[in-house]
Amino acid sequence: MKQRTKEEQHRQDKQFLVECLTTDLAKILIEDYGYTLESALDTLYKSRTYEKIERESTGLYFQSSIYVMDYLKEELSL
């Protein structure tokens, strides 16, 4: 069995956190703001907030969904 490098493990861990955060944010948009699944994901993926989530230097992918939702709410003026 091939062992993963630290860099590979880090990339996989980060991607997992981004995916979990994306799921949580989409659920909030759907449940609290009445978005459909498609519109929630479309809005999220096109947002500046999502760009920041993906950018490792911001560390935003490592924060709670409630914390990141504040950024998204401000951006979307919800």
pLDDT tens, per residue, the chain with 78 residues: 667 798 999 999 999 999 999 999 999 999 999 999 999 999 999 999 999 999 999 999 999 999 999 999 999 998
Please give the DSSP secondary-structure letter assigned to residue 44.
Answer: H
Round to whole Å and give the CA distance between 22 and 25: 5
Looking at residue 72, what is its pLDDT? 97
8: in domain: no
6: in domain: no
* E strand or H helix that includes residue 14: helix 6-33
3: in domain: no
Looking at residue 68, what is its pLDDT? 97
4: in domain: no
39: in domain: yes
C-alpha distances in Å from residue 51, one per residue of 6, 12, 16: 24, 18, 16
Q: Which domain holds residue 38?
A: 18-76
- Which residues, 6 or more positions from 17, have their beta carbon under 8 angstroms from its beta carbon? 61, 62
State the total domains in the chain.
1
Looking at residue 39, what is its pLDDT? 98
